């Protein structure tokens, strides 16, 4: 083997080793160095893309901040990818439907951008087809002047986007600097916020590197039972909760998140003392076959996204125990 062949073999071996290391990292922990490896493909793809699958956010019940994350307002509009190739502009929805006729002002503004070719990702809000009444909120860039930039870290893509002069109805989505941005979202009537990892590439899938925190409703509920823990969990699996409607106790669903280990153990000990043989729920469907039933005395505060059509809590999480509330006072709250 000559020196040139040996060098080539070492490079291939090193690439395979790096790839293996990346596959073993848990989601959300890829380093900027790992992302830098994938940037080598930027110069390799020179043909303008006809389509790119948009990155989707994963819903989370957790609330957190950290230096490795940025937060943006979650907009309630139409997801649009804007493809500019010379003077030709195509607006495509998430499911690849053409939207040029619906947003002519956006088409004109994208066509006027001072670059030859680009692919933007964003959300359109406003009234369809009425110039001056819409806005295209741009939050990412996937392609710029002959190069795919989707594999670059988010911070780099945001820097590229900041270098583009956007004219109305194009608007750049700003990062939020609030210490608890999800609370601001709910106070201002937004749909929620999106947390994005600064070092993550743009992925053409639903990704754990984009997490959506939706604004939540809260409701006091009475505990009528619980399930056993599974795997390494201790105490209990989920609380079975409901509310009073006259003399009936209506089953509203299961709450399985929002606990720490200490609370799981404390609740189990407390609920064991009021266990009964039969379920206290007299209305509602979907009761688990295997569960422990308790007298409906303990009141908890629960956050959730919405009530389903079947009267169940969607994505509930425990906020805490309400020692100041009598169980018989717990009814389903209405706006």
In a domain, 237, yes or no: yes
Instruction: Give the pLDDT band (50/70/90) at residue 247.
Output: very high
Whether 102 and 177 share a structural domain? yes
Whether 253 and 280 share a structural domain? yes
Q: Cis peptide leading into 200, omega within 30 of 0?
A: no
The pLDDT of residue 95: 87
Whether 109 and 172 share a structural domain? yes
The pLDDT of residue 17: 36
In a domain, 126, yes or no: yes
Tell which wins on pLDDT, 217 or 32. 217
Q: Is 74 a catalytic residue?
A: yes
Residue 26: is its pLDDT beyond 60?
A: no
Nearest-Å Rg of the Cα atoms of the chain is 26
227 within 8 A of 306, measured Cβ to Cβ = no
Q: Find the catalytic residue in 74, 196, 214, 254.
A: 74
CATH classification at residue 227? 2.40.50.140
In a domain, 14, yes or no: yes
The pLDDT of residue 264: 96
Instruction: Give the pLDDT band (50/70/90) at residue 324.
Output: confident
In a domain, 204, yes or no: yes
**Domain count of the fold of the chain:** 3
- What does the pLDDT average to over 194-200? 98
Tell which wins on pLDDT, 334 or 116. 116
In a domain, 238, yes or no: yes
Domain end, chosen from 185, 214, 243, is at 214
- What does the pLDDT average to over 200-204? 97
In a domain, 335, yes or no: no
Whether 47 and 185 share a structural domain? yes
In a domain, 334, yes or no: no
Reported in sequence order, the residue ranges of the chain that DSSP labels E, i.e. its strands, are 56-59, 69-74, 78-85, 88-93, 117-126, 134-144, 147-148, 170-172, 175-176, 192-197, 206-214, 217-226, 239-245, 248-255, 275-276, 292-294, 299-304, 306-307, 313-314, 317-321
Whether 178 and 243 share a structural domain? no
Whether 141 and 93 share a structural domain? yes
In a domain, 73, yes or no: yes
**C-alpha distance from residue 172 to each of 44, 88, 222, 243, 333 (Å):** 28, 22, 45, 45, 38
Whether 163 and 60 share a structural domain? yes
Whether 127 and 224 share a structural domain? no
Percent of the chain clearing pLDDT 70 (strictly above) = 84
Domain end, chosen from 188, 214, 240, is at 214
The pLDDT of residue 294: 98
Whether 208 and 229 share a structural domain? no
CATH classification at residue 70? 3.30.470.30
Going 183 to 188 to 189 to 195, the CA torsion angle's sign is negative
Whether 43 and 177 share a structural domain? yes
Whether 15 and 115 share a structural domain? no
Domain end, chosen from 214, 248, 266, is at 214
Whether 299 and 151 share a structural domain? no
Q: What tens digit of pLDDT does each residue of 41-69 get?
A: 444 456 899 999 999 999 888 899 999 99
- Per DSSP, the three-state class of 203 is coil
Q: What is the pTM of this model?
A: 0.64
State the residue range of the domain holding 109: 39-214
């Amino acid at each position: 083997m000559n020196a040139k062949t040996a060098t080539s073999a070492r490079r291939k071996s090193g690439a395979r080793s790096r790839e293996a290391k990346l596959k073993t990292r848990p989601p959300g922990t890829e380093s900027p160095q790992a992302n830098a490896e994938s940037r080598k493909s930027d110069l390799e793809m020179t043909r303008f893309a006809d389509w790119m699958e948009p990155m989707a956010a994963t819903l989370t019940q957790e609330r957190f901040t950290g230096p490795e994350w940025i937060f943006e307002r979650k907009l309630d509009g139409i997801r649009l990818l804007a493809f500019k190739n010379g003077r030709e502009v195509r607006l495509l929805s998430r499911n690849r439907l053409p939207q040029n006729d619906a947003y002519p002002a956006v088409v004109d503004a994208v066509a006027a951008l001072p670059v030859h070719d680009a692919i933007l990702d964003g959300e359109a809000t406003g009234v369809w087809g009425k110039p001056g009444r819409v806005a295209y909120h741009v939050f990412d860039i996937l392609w710029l002047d002959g190069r795919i930039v989707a594999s670059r870290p988010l911070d780099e893509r945001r820097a590229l986007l900041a270098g583009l002069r956007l004219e109305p109805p194009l608007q750049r989505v700003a990062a939020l600097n609030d210490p608890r941005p999800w609370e601001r979202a709910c106070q201002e009537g937004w749909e929620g916020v999106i947390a994005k990892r600064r070092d993550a590439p743009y992925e053409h899938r639903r990704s754990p590197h984009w997490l959506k925190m939706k604004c939540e409703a809260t409701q006091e509920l009475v505990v009528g039972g619980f399930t056993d823990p599974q795997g390494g969990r201790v105490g209990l699996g989920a609380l079975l909760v409901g509310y009073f409607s006259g003399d009936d106790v209506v089953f509203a669903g299961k709450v399985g998140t929002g606990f720490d280990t200490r609370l799981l153990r404390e609740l189990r000990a407390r609920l064991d003392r009021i266990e009964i043989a039969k379920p206290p729920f007299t209305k509602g469907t979907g009761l688990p076959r295997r569960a422990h039933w308790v007298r409906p005395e303990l009141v908890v505060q629960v956050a959730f996204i919405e009530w389903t059509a079947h009267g169940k809590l969607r994505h509930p999480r425990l906020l805490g125990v309400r020692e100041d509330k009598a169980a018989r006072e717990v009814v389903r709250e209405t706006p």
